[in-house]
Structure 1
Amino acid sequence: MILIKNAEIYSPAHIGRKDILISFDKIAYISNNIITKDKLYGDIDVIDADGLIAMPGIIDLHVHVAGGGGEGGFKTRTPDLVLTNMTLNGVTTCVGLLGTDGSTRSMGNLLAKLRGLEEEGLTTYSWTGCYEIPTRTITDDARSDIIFVDKIIGVGEIAVSDHRGSNPSADDLIHLASECRVGGMLSGKCGILHMHLGDGKRGFEPIFEVIDRSDIPYENLLPTHINRNTLVYKQSIEYAKNGGYVDITTSIKPEGDTAVYAAEVYETLLKEKISPDHITMSSDAGGSLPIFDQNGKLMSLKTGLPDTDMETIKMCISNGMPIEEAILPLTSTPAKRLKLHGKGNIKEGCDADILLVDKNFKIYAVISKGRIMVDNYKAVMHGSFESLT
């Protein structure tokens, strides 16, 4: 059991200064002053959170945990992420995916990596597939993956308007979105088609066609990387105003191109009266961040980490956004959208995924499923092979 004393709690709603009692992997009790009695509670780890803020653990719905990249040849395949890549950056729940490479990397490899991270202390889920259509699955089809594989919640990331994808038509996307929807209905999962938006000329147009030409509801579609260029950014505002859901990539930065900071995009969407329930964020960590010229030639390549999630939260707050609003796209909103029950909130009965951050929003402690992973700004739990590297 763990007792957190005197934390200023954002659930994400601000509920004031309170104590939090954790029993096993759940939040058992939240009260103004929990007085421990050894005979009643037994051994308890007590964390003095005076001067600290408690917020839900980050849910990162787009992470290449088993590596990504490869656009510059075999030597540019990015390495797997390790446990502390996630915990030191506040991520307690992640959704893994393949990305560009569905040939040298497989769904089996991805699921094995996710199960390993789960054993080490995270909560993990998975998208099935990769950039291409027909996409790669672990069973015969995407619908069966969603229904029969516990970790798989939807399909992604499917590349739209990107020279690395398979140039999917609206019909291709409609068929795959239908498979997602039915798979989700039959299994009680979100059944979302998660789509990567590239720098191609059409931008959002294939997704607009899906909405115009089919009965697929917005709830089953989630385009990401909407801040990668001016075209996609502008189209995403129209899409969201019409009722669509969008995912902003925190690792995208305007480094000499037309990309836009995630915090700026989030602020703009809110000013456009788009509900925060329709906006999520994710890091794209573990994948490569390639820069191509106008002819599709690779110019440079680097690897992303999930530290940009907390950086974006801090940027939103420094720009004057209330804390409870700034943390929504990485906590309760993705939990709701992805049907991750018990996640994204600090409430009695919810999973004990809690961050303690100081006044500068630097991570002091991380609790994941009731286990202390980071304490006093340092990792106290490491992955199986981290000590060897």
Structure 2
Amino acid sequence: MTNTTMVLRNANVIDVETGHITLKNIMIKNGRIASVENTKAQEEKLNTDVVVLDLQGKWVIPGLIDMHVHIKEGYAPLFTASGVTTVRNTGGNVHELKDMIHASMEAPVPRVISADRIIDGPSGLWGETSPWSMNAESPEAAKKEVRRQVEAGADFIKVYGWLPKEVMEAVVEEAKIYNKEVSCDLVYSKDVTAIDAAKMGIQWNEHASGILQDIYPEWTMQADANVWNSIQWEQPDLEKIEQVCKVLIENKVIICPTMVLLDQAKLLENYWYPKNEVTTKLEENDGLVNQWKYFLSHTASLESLGRQATMNKAIAKVYFDLGGQIVAGTDTPAGIFTIPGMALHRELELFVEIGMTEIDALRAATINAAKALKRPELGVIKEGAIADIVILDENPLVNIKYTQKINRVIKGGKIYTQNELFEEVPDGETVLKNLESFMKLFESTIS
């Protein structure tokens, strides 16, 4: 942990709670915010042992939180370089991510809150059981897997839509014993709808999934063309959406719509791709870029997702307007060009495009995300909070795209330039060696 005392002077602090901007001095000690005071009040307290950074003409926001990613060490620093200082990893392997999960507060990678491997039903959307997914054939097998994940250190449990209803219920029952929340991805579900999952006690709904199955019981991703064509995808039935959303709100479901995932699929060859320092660095990652290009050359599955984009946005807006808990996430690096870190900025743009204000979009990736995680020390700039701060060259309340105008990033009290974070990206050989070590470790733990 850094022991340096730092003061950010003359900062235009955006208070995400109130939406107000005030000129403040922010004092940081031992990785946390020690005080946020009017500029004159703190001037008298400064001494020669304090590192002072004058931020006149700059704006500061809390470190951003991407609430739906699948992170790997090979591109983890790109999140931080994009101002994303915390991620919620919604499926992976906690053994593979252990170095990041247990990293120091000021580490150049984002803070990782993680599920372990996804629990799916036979024969598994992602194929056979692996270090990253497990296909449970019975309630007993599912409960055993929950216990294994709890012991491994999973923060929450993730279930997929091919899981039969009775097996999904078993997961929820077992998770409750260990006080673990459950997250669901029901995009490909044929057996469980969003309302079913909510009534089981599943707190988190990823992609606003399963709602379409509630509205259109005859529809699934596997439905024939006649069913698909019977739905007016570009004219969402807001009344039906509202009926489902009200039930989810009654059950206190948190929705992470990942609009960027579906929006990119709809745009296809015209996908969103900003030209900046992060994307320039990203282009060195041949694995990711080639993966996206490969998906783009096989458009059928992308088109089925893209067709739902307008509906997905309508659900997000209705849920927000009704007072439901909604948070910002991206599913990086799924789909096409969901750029680590930068995709969250696109998600914020989409929140504003659907009719939310800039401050409400920011809240979905800061204070509201932190509240959903029950982590009050994140997502705010106030005394006692972890010093995760993004310094911006422009005011994002004027234009949400200005969240991309990143000057520097503070992670756990340590200040970084983007170039310093790019230098932390590991080379391919290191990533491969670490993956091989993980595979050996996992095989020994699972046997």
Write the distance in 2 (CA, Å) between the matches of 1:3 and 1:39: 8
Partner of 1:209: 196
- Identity percentage of aligned residues: 16
SS in 1 for 2:331: coil
From 42, 46, 50, the counterpart of 1:43: 50
Which structure 2 residues correspond to residues 18-57 of structure 1 after superposition, within 5 A? 18-19=23-24, 20-33=26-39, 34-36=41-43, 40=47, 42-50=49-57, 52-57=58-63
Deviations 1:290-329 (A, max 9, x none): xxxxxxxxxxx66643312112323444666433211122
SS in 1 for 2:308: coil
Post-superposition shift, 1:240? 3.1
Which of the two has greater helix per residue?
Answer: 2
The answer for unaligned runs of 5 or more in structure 1 is 67-79, 100-105, 161-166, 185-190, 290-300
Cα distance, 1:29–1:263 mapped onto 2, change above 3 Å: farther
Which structure 2 residues correspond to residues 174-213 of structure 1 after superposition, within 5 A? 174-184=169-179, 191-201=180-190, 205=193, 207-212=194-199
- Is the counterpart of residue 93 in structure 1 residue 80 in structure 2? no
Cα distance, 1:372–1:63 mapped onto 2, change above 3 Å: same
SS in 2 for 1:128: coil
- Is the counterpart of residue 251 in structure 1 residue 275 in structure 2? no
Partner of 2:318: 268
Counterpart amino acid of residue 317 in structure 2: E
Q: Is the 8 A contact 2:204 2:254 kept in 1?
A: yes
> Structure 1 length normalisation: TM-score?
0.72
Partner of 2:71: 65
Which of the two has greater strand per residue?
Answer: 1
Partner of 1:164: none
Partner of 2:329: 282
Deviations 1:248-274 (A, max 9, x none): 113321335323267665333333x23
Q: Is the 8 A contact 2:79 2:109 kept in 1?
A: no
Partner of 1:122: 110
Q: Is the 8 A contact 1:92 1:123 kept in 2?
A: yes
SS in 2 for 1:269: helix
Write the distance in 2 (CA, Å) between the matches of 1:259 and 1:342: 36
Post-superposition shift, 1:26? 0.7
Partner of 2:217: none
Q: Is the 8 A contact 2:33 2:386 kept in 1?
A: yes
SS in 2 for 1:372: strand
Partner of 1:14: 19
The answer for unaligned runs of 5 or more in structure 2 is 122-128, 135-140, 215-235, 268-302, 396-401, 430-447
Cα distance, 1:211–1:223 mapped onto 2, change above 3 Å: closer
From 346, 349, 359, the counterpart of 1:311: 346
Post-superposition shift, 1:193? 0.9
- Is the counterpart of residue 333 in structure 1 residue 368 in structure 2? yes
Partner of 1:292: none
Post-superposition shift, 1:6? 2.8
The higher radius of gyration belongs to 2
Partner of 2:245: 240
Q: Is the 8 A contact 1:21 1:28 kept in 2?
A: yes
Partner of 1:76: none
Partner of 1:163: none
Write the distance in 1 (CA, Å) between the matches of 2:48 and 2:148: 45
- Is the counterpart of residue 173 in structure 1 residue 172 in structure 2? no
- Is the counterpart of residue 367 in structure 1 residue 410 in structure 2? yes
Q: Is the 8 A contact 2:30 2:413 kept in 1?
A: yes
Cα distance, 1:238–1:141 mapped onto 2, change above 3 Å: same
SS in 2 for 1:153: coil
Post-superposition shift, 1:348? 0.8
Deviations 1:177-228 (A, max 9, x none): 12222212xxxxxx221112224555x52x433444x5x3xxx421111279
Q: Is the 8 A contact 2:100 2:109 kept in 1?
A: no
Counterpart amino acid of residue 419 in structure 2: A
Write the distance in 2 (CA, Å) between the matches of 1:81 and 1:229: 34
Q: Is the 8 A contact 2:262 2:309 kept in 1?
A: yes
Write the distance in 1 (CA, Å) between the matches of 2:241 and 2:98: 31
Write the distance in 2 (CA, Å) between the matches of 1:41 and 1:349: 23
Partner of 2:138: none
Write the distance in 1 (CA, Å) between the matches of 2:344 and 2:364: 10
